[in-house]
Amino acid sequence: MATVEASTAQPSAAEEPHLSRAHSALIWILLVATFVVFLNETVVNVAMPSIMASLSIDAASVQWLLTAFMLTMAVVIPMSGFLIRRFSTRRMFIAAIALFAIGTLLGALAPGFGVLVAARVIQAAGTGVMMPLLMTTIMELVPVVQRGRMMGRVSIVIAAAPALGPFLGGLVVNAFDWRAIFVMVLPVAVIALALGIWRVVDVAEAERVPVDLLSIVLAALGFGGLVLGLSELGHAAQGVAIVEPWIPLAAGGIALALFVWRQFILQRIDDALIDLRILAVPGFLWALLCTAALCAVLFGVNVLMPLYLQDALGLSALASGLIVMPGGLLMGLAGPLVGRWYDHVGPRPLVIPGAAGATLALAGMALWYTLGAEVWLIVVLYAVLCAGMALMFGPLFTAGMGSLAKDRYSYGSAMLGTIQQLAGAAGTAAIVVIYTVAGLGATHDGASPAASTAAGAHTAFLVCAIAFVVVIGLSVLVRRPSEEIPGAPVVH
């Protein structure tokens, strides 16, 4: 009986396991580096009008700065699981942050648009590895009873960095040339690289994993084609498409089907690029689907907000950045607190209210984001949306990854990162198309440009609110991993 009680009791504060100083330093360095590379994703966006004027390029061409970045991420992230197994933590981190720093330096010195696009591709090659590496490292090192609070810190990276990007980018572009954006990021990247060389240690030994070139090619064509096609759907609605969307979508769909077939064959001998058997784990699957829906809406809303604020209300890019910044900071800074709650109560008491709150906020945005909306109301509703999402991100990551066996962590982090990119591209495309079509309908009815923009935003926010009702249903299915429940059998 004493043995059973010991196995089911929660550890006391004195007995609670702790990270070593070396492992704690490793995670903090990874957090800081990942924050910087995620900040870079959005900080460049606000500089695009300045880049167009400086380099004498049109709107269709400048979209390549975003498209090339997203395409590279879509290619690199699916391979990250294999790379994390094949190479040591130290080598992976140094390579990733070095690539990011080189790309940033090249961007600052770029003599023309072609070099600038190449710089963004190099940056993205380093960025795509950082989040899977961070999540896998946390799952490998952090004791089960502390995973929630540590994953909560990951929410700071996912939420606060993109929220700060437009604000910082607006400040820099208003005061300096667009190259200053790269100059601003470069010292932090170099410091992160130096810290990595000095303090990053290996978490696990590298494995001799064979390279399946066919899987890599199919993954690049499949995920890259889908992201490009989805991005071009949104661009086509705005009249700045680079290629007909159906072409990359069809090619990507065929390549992805072949990729899945190839993985089913290779996973029999544990040589898959992404082991798709993780999708048979219910805890991971439901968390993954929730994350996909959450990211689709979040990416879409983050594109929609500047359109509404600048084109309907006539605000500057800097002002619109200031309006959305409190919500983004709230989502990020609430992460550690939500993580602590997760460690005590598990995912559902957080994820279900979070989904409900976000749904109500989106409904309010559809109703009250009009031409005459008060700034305080815009800030409050967006903050409520961010607070609801803050209750979801960390718990979903922790519950999903915790549902997997230890030797599947790298595959899980790669799958989560890939789904975030695909869902983000899909959500952005859908929102832009809905916004554009609804706005054109209002224009045909005689509405002013500002009123047409507001009408398009209203319809898009309403669709987001309806979509989030589905997220509420999915969130009910999310469960706490069995290994986090004292005395429960661990089943993967």
**Over its length of 492 residues, how does the chain's per-residue pLDDT go in tens digits?**
333 333 334 444 444 556 677 788 888 888 888 888 888 777 777 777 788 888 888 766 777 887 788 888 888 888 888 788 888 888 888 999 999 999 999 999 998 889 999 999 999 998 888 888 888 888 888 888 788 888 888 877 777 777 777 777 777 877 788 888 899 889 989 998 998 888 887 776 667 777 788 988 898 899 888 888 887 887 776 676 777 888 989 999 999 999 999 999 988 887 888 889 999 999 999 999 999 998 888 888 888 888 888 888 888 777 887 888 888 888 878 888 898 899 888 899 999 999 999 999 999 999 999 888 889 999 999 999 999 998 998 899 899 998 998 888 888 988 988 888 888 888 888 888 888 888 888 888 888 888 888 898 899 999 999 989 989 999 999 988 876 554 444 444
Query: Residue 435 has which token pair?
Result: 């916004």
Alpha carbon separation from 492 to 281, 300, 400 (Å, rounded): 6, 34, 11
What does the alpha-carbon distance between residue 473 and residue 140 come to, in Å, rounded to a whole number?
31
Cα pseudo-dihedral 451, 455, 456, 457, rounded to 10:
100
What does the alpha-carbon distance between residue 78 and residue 50 come to, in Å, rounded to a whole number?
33
Alpha carbon separation from 39 to 44, 67, 123, 162, 303 (Å, rounded): 9, 17, 12, 5, 16
Which residue's structure tokens are 């899980």? 412
pLDDT of the residue at 418: 87
DSSP 18: -
Contacts of 101 (CB under 8 A, 6+ apart): 126, 186, 189, 190, 192, 193
What does the alpha-carbon distance between residue 226 and residue 408 come to, in Å, rounded to a whole number?
25
pTM: 0.82
